[in-house]
Structure 1
Amino acid sequence: MCGVIAMLLASQSTHCAGELAEGLQLLQHRGQDACGIVTCGPKGRFFQCKSNGMVRDVLDAKSLSQLVGSMGVGHARYPTAGSSAHSEAQPFYVNSPYGIVLGHNGNLTNTQHLRYYLDHYAHRHINTSSDSELLLNLLADALQKTGKFRIDADDIFRAVREVMQTTSGAYACAGMIAGHSIVGFRDPNGIRPMGWARRKSDQVEGGWDYLMASESVVCDALGFTDWKDVNPGETIIITREGVSIQQVVPPRTFAPDIFEHVYFARPDSVLDGISVYRARMAMGDALAKNAAAVLEKAGLVADVVIPVPDTSRVAALQLAQNLNIPYREGFVKNRYVGRTFIMPGQEIRRKNVRRKLNAMALEFKDKVVLIVDDSIVRGTTSREIIQMARDAGAKKVIMASCAPPIRYPNVYGIDMPSRFELVANGRTEEEITTAIGADLTIWQTLPDLVASCSQFNSSITEFDCSVFTGNYVTGGVDEAYLAGLESLRSDNAKIKANAQGRPPVVNVNGAGGNQGGQTESGASVVSASAPMNEVHAEGGDDNSQVVGLNNAGGDANKEHPDVAMGLSNLGEK
């Protein structure tokens, strides 16, 4: 689950990096591991700054001042697999053909086939374990087949169509082609969100500035209007001459991820016509009905309703009003600790729960407390919160979840990796209650959760609810795939991957590659004496300090091998 953004300004003399950074700060909740921006300046030259860390730390004033250009792409990374090395920070870049940048939100489920094709037939070097780099190289390979010195919108549409016909999984992408356009596209099931907007330019008479982003909140904050969602299987190309939109593949079952509304998205965003805030209000209304029945059956009366800040506040308030129980803010949040759910490692998450939240004894002492959370995933946070409530003097602790029990891993870009790390996997509801240390648990039913969202957009009849049901909308997810995914995405696998740090490398120019030399701090190094490192198109591109990417924008390789196994066949194998 990442945040992506792209921008194209009407005025070629205005730099977009500052607004891109503002947009990424608004999307920081979607990824706190790494971030980056690549801009396109005069003569098609790319400038980039990316590294591990929060937006405010990586993209400081000095870095932004050196990101030249009126169009660019930004990304806030949330890792779901493998290493969290600097080299996996996005956006990714390839120099051939034309110079292409891509930021990706989601997860592909047929990466082994794609990697095999790119290595053995397209002869494109993949330097990281990121499926986002695979996507970028698939797009580059498809564009290279045109053999053109200059491409047009039809060429891009055909290239994205080939990518979509090849890949399986979830993806919402924002990209840029040097000196040409920004490009956005979304998988045929529309699992991950993406939209675009525009505003009148105050620099160019009659001109328009354009924005693409993961959530509509960016549009509102930066003064853009006319927000539109990118439809499933749709591609949008924006140049200074105008906007081109094409349905490049037929949409499949439209099934946006319901967990966006449960937890991930900001409440002030509207995704696919559904207000996240209104959906969470409806979740609280529905949960209240179930809670009333469960409490009556258990013979319990709650004295107070307390939310786990921040995502459950809206639902908790609705529940309290429906049950006529006082609503209180019993936990005070330290806003300078990141979202514990997306932190790497169980032990880190556990420790940070208490660093992040502090219980006020006044609201807990000698009371039957009904704590409302958006969901219960690993159980780490719930166990700590329940213990904090007991330590503060609560007589009984009832836990209510706005989502059903999460029993299956997410394969579309949310870090619910191993079934064995999910507290609900293989447990009954009573056993979950014991595992998290509550006196009673109350769960939202799946039909109520779906209705809470679908009532605001009748055209969406299905959501991706695979974490609750184990039914994966894209297909192709079997036991062998899940086992392989768990070997890469479990906490132990991530700790091992991050522990196997590679030694510093200077001046790496692998054939067809896209990574420059990297120091221990993650900075690109080509010339040790140069304050502003230039990485030429023949070399590569990484990293964490601002880097000028000299993009020749030249002719694509006109020779493409006659492959025995075409890309169109890979998705079926």
Structure 2
Amino acid sequence: MSDSIKHECGIAFIRLLKPLSYYQEKYGTALWGLNKLYLLMEKQHNRGQDGAGIATIKLDVKPGHRYISRYRSMAQNAVADIFGYVQSKFVDIQNETPELMQDAEWLKNNVSFIGEVLLGHLRYGTHGQNSIENCHPFLRQNNWMTRNLVIAGNFNMTNVEELLEQLYELGQHPKEKADTVTVLEKIGHFLDDENQELFDAYKKEGLDNVEITHKISEGLDIAKILRRSAKNWDGGYAISGIVGNGDAFVLRDPSGIRPAFYYADDEIVVAASERPAIQTAFNIPFKDVKEIEPGHALIVKKSGKVTQEVFRDPQEKRACSFERIYFSRGSDADIYKERKQLGALLCDQILKAVSADLKNTVFSFIPNTAEVSFYGMVEGLHSYIRGVQKDTLLNRKEQLNDQELDELLSMNPRVEKLAIKDVKLRTFITQDADRQDMVAHVYDTTYGIIKNNTDTLVAIDDSIVRGTTLKQSIIKIIDRLHPKKIIIVSSAPQIRYPDCYGIDMSKMGQFVAFEAAIQLLKERGMEHIIEEVYQKCKASLLLPKEEIVNHVKDIYRPFTQEEISAQITKIITPANINAEVEVIYQTLDNLHVACPDHTGDWYFSGNYPTPGGNKVVIKAFVNWKEGSNQRAY
């Protein structure tokens, strides 16, 4: 992706179902769980570069001994920093009493982070400040073991103010206005309620306090706590939590917006945001890694019992399609196929744009995440060539001379690597004052490939958000190769609407497609539509979120996709460029063909999966119209 964007975080959860001595004996180390947590997090480092954290809980620890350990880091390589810190706990033991490294029980009783329940988190700071206090896991502490709570998640709630108001009504006074605090305190409140209800019930039975403590640990109804906590949540989320006694859960929003996968056997339960991370870390076949169903929570009791229970009624599944295009690692078998399909489905538009002149067209990609869709595009071109060859040989072979036959049989797309990412810069989030100078140096190019003023250069990108890097760097650089025409192809449709479920795209003015539509309205004397939409949006903000509709769709309604693409071409074409420039976008229909099981396409269609989404897009438009640079939720 040329316009790099921050997006949702990653979670890693492991529950060891056997005593630590089992892993010592079978795998040669009591640190097996920690080692696997490290792998699980490293294999998801694409999901977080602004910080990370881990927490572990030891089971059945005697009173007076620490059983919860947590460490968070904002170092440049946060995961390595965290596990370097953990490893430092063992240096003296290894040097002075190495035999104790083989004693799992001693390690558990004497060294922090050696526990049976492990939770990791990788953070992308979308809107929150980048400080250690913003790094997960979050901890809610209490002297009662079953009232302690650790949570970490990949989530954004659209109705934080509403949820905060409910906390006020419960008598709480949250320390800040943030969905992380809200979620922690919501679950914590109902965890406290559950503890109190069980305590009162067992007290009536005449049990003493020590007996009651053990009974509460056995009797906690995690699904009930989550049902009460999440009743009014509006957003996309995958959240993992651990209660101090060792009960744990991983839950997924009712529309399945955010991804969550798990694997369980008689040794472990593991969950993560991405399937390949589990496959690689534990050498597990693709078919054995399952999705947590929307509206369900994977619950692991302290006893080791594993269930998947409903905590919110599942809605129509609207899993995020942008996960498939860009965010998730392409090593997932299904995602790899889908990205190739996205590339292949663009071939008809590309061939039309180059008049099927493959002899004078060079195909390339903008590194690095567009590479897989590029392979699909090339396969699609080969399929087209085979069709041409077959048709010609079946219907015209008598009319071909030897030279024409040789040319026919040697037809191939000209495939080259022309764009090289030279410097790693986050161009989407760099301060505006610095961005223009920085993005001009992000890419370099390969010289001596293009035939001057003859070849058309087709470069595929996975998506185009704002077009900043295209305008200020890529197009300028590849124009130095002197192509006749430059065609930029996006494997994603036009990004027209903001996200509110964990991706850093919350402001209307960030989208080049929106800018293009506004320009077209003004050029064609249709500015009244802008004002009409603004008035509708202002009025809608007074309605309950469940009654709001997305009036911003009216901004795009007068225009075809091709008209908006043509206007985008004008916007992103730098001055003093010699080559003709064209931008081609994936169609929404083809996105659904390529990713049939991930219909969460609100970025492109404006069809939000939750009522809060419609409120966010309305607010984002009002903010844009009023010149406010605030996010809409």
TM-score band, normalised by the shorter chain?
A: 0.7 to 0.9
1:255 aligns with 2:318: yes
Query: Which of the residues 135, 142, 149 maps onto 1:89?
Result: 135
Query: Which of the residues 497, 500, 505 maps onto 1:416?
Result: 505
Q: Report the residue type matching 2:491 in the other structure.
A: C
More helix by share: 2
Deviation sequence 1:401-441 (CA, Å, 0-9, x none): 00111111011111112110111114121111111117011
Q: How many residues align?
A: 472
Work out the CA distance in 1 between the residues paired with 2:224 and 2:615. Answer: 34
Aligned to 1:446: 588
Query: Where in structure 2 are the equivalents of 1:73-152 lying within 5 Å?
Result: 73-96=119-142, 98-127=147-176, 129-146=177-194, 147=196, 148=198, 149=213, 150-152=216-218
Work out the CA distance in 1 between the residues paired with 2:307 and 2:193. Answer: 21
Work out the CA distance in 1 between the residues paired with 2:43 and 2:256. Answer: 22
Give 1:259 deviation, angstroms. Answer: 0.3
Deviation sequence 1:178-205 (CA, Å, 0-9, x none): 2313310000000000011135xxxxxx
Q: Report the residue type matching 1:381 in the other structure.
A: T
Work out the CA distance in 2 between the residues paired with 1:59 and 1:348. Answer: 31
Deviation sequence 1:221-249 (CA, Å, 0-9, x none): 11253211000001111245231221222
Query: Where in structure 2 are the equivalents of 1:364-443 lying within 5 Å?
Result: 364=450, 366=452, 367-383=455-471, 384-427=473-516, 428-437=564-573, 439-443=581-585
Query: Which of the residues 356, 359, 380 maps onto 2:445?
Result: 359
Change (3 A) 1:330 1:267: same
Deviation sequence 1:128-173 (CA, Å, 0-9, x none): x531222122111111111144245761101111233220110011
Query: Which of the residues 58, 61, 79 maps onto 2:84?
Result: 61
Aligned to 1:11: 19
What SS does structure 1 have at the residue aligned with 2:352? helix
CA RMSD of superposed structures (Å): 2.9
Query: Which of the residues 346, 355, 378 maps onto 1:320?
Result: 378
Structure 1 length as normaliser, TM-score? 0.76
What SS does structure 2 have at the residue aligned with 1:433? helix
Query: Which of the residues 265, 272, 289 maps onto 1:213?
Result: 272
Give 1:346 deviation, angstroms. Answer: 4.8
Give 1:21 deviation, angstroms. Answer: 2.4
Deviation sequence 1:80-134 (CA, Å, 0-9, x none): 223222211111111146211111112111110111222342415344x531222
Q: Report the residue type matching 2:419 in the other structure.
A: F
Query: Where in structure 2 are the equivalents of 1:96-245 lying within 5 Å?
Result: 96=142, 98-127=147-176, 129-146=177-194, 147=196, 148=198, 149=213, 150-152=216-218, 155-198=221-264, 207-225=266-284, 226-239=288-301, 241-245=304-308
Work out the CA distance in 1 between the residues paired with 2:259 and 2:622. Answer: 25
Deviation sequence 1:55-101 (CA, Å, 0-9, x none): 34532423444433232111111122232222111111111462111
Aligned to 1:468: 604
Segments of structure 1 that go 5 or more residues without pairing to the other structure are: 200-206, 455-459, 495-573
Q: 2:487–2:582: 8 Å Cα contact kept in structure 1?
A: yes
Structure number with the bigger relative contact order (C-alpha 8 A, sep ≥ 6) is 1
Change (3 A) 1:47 1:322: same
Work out the CA distance in 1 between the residues paired with 2:298 and 2:351. Answer: 47
1:288 aligns with 2:347: yes
Work out the CA distance in 2 between the residues paired with 1:350 and 1:25. Answer: 32
Q: 2:128–2:134: 8 Å Cα contact kept in structure 1?
A: no
Query: Where in structure 2 are the equivalents of 1:518-537 lying within 5 Å?
Result: none
Change (3 A) 1:327 1:198: farther
Query: Which of the residues 268, 272, 275 maps onto 2:331?
Result: 268
Work out the CA distance in 2 between the residues paired with 1:37 and 1:232. Answer: 25
Q: 1:19–1:222: 8 Å Cα contact kept in structure 2?
A: yes
Q: 2:156–2:501: 8 Å Cα contact kept in structure 1?
A: yes
Aligned to 1:500: none
Q: Report the residue type matching 2:163 in the other structure.
A: L
Change (3 A) 1:400 1:151: same
Work out the CA distance in 2 between the residues paired with 1:55 and 1:20. Answer: 14
Work out the CA distance in 2 between the residues paired with 1:482 and 1:351. Answer: 33
Change (3 A) 1:338 1:449: same
Deviation sequence 1:341-386 (CA, Å, 0-9, x none): 5x45456665554555322223456342111000000112222222
Aligned to 1:331: 419
Structure 2 length as normaliser, TM-score? 0.69
Query: Which of the residues 23, 43, 47 maps onto 2:40?
Result: 23
Q: Report the residue type matching 1:178 in the other structure.
A: G
Aligned to 2:70: 48
Q: 2:10–2:273: 8 Å Cα contact kept in structure 1?
A: yes
What SS does structure 2 have at the residue aligned with 1:72? strand
Q: 1:17–1:64: 8 Å Cα contact kept in structure 2?
A: no
Change (3 A) 1:362 1:28: farther
Change (3 A) 1:391 1:58: farther
Deviation sequence 1:450-470 (CA, Å, 0-9, x none): 11011xxxxx4x611111111
Deviation sequence 1:31-51 (CA, Å, 0-9, x none): 211111111236362212213
Q: Report the residue type matching 2:448 in the other structure.
A: L
Work out the CA distance in 2 between the residues paired with 1:257 and 1:85. Answer: 28
Give 1:7 deviation, angstroms. Answer: 0.8
Segments of structure 2 that go 5 or more residues without pairing to the other structure are: 1-7, 22-29, 90-112, 199-212, 382-411, 517-563, 574-579
Question: Which has the larger Rg?
Answer: 2
Change (3 A) 1:348 1:160: farther
Q: 1:164–1:187: 8 Å Cα contact kept in structure 2?
A: no
Change (3 A) 1:231 1:94: same
Q: 2:156–2:500: 8 Å Cα contact kept in structure 1?
A: yes
Work out the CA distance in 1 between the residues paired with 2:482 and 2:87. Answer: 49
Work out the CA distance in 2 between the residues paired with 1:130 and 1:246. Answer: 27
Work out the CA distance in 2 between the residues paired with 1:197 and 1:266. Answer: 18
Q: 1:364–1:389: 8 Å Cα contact kept in structure 2?
A: no
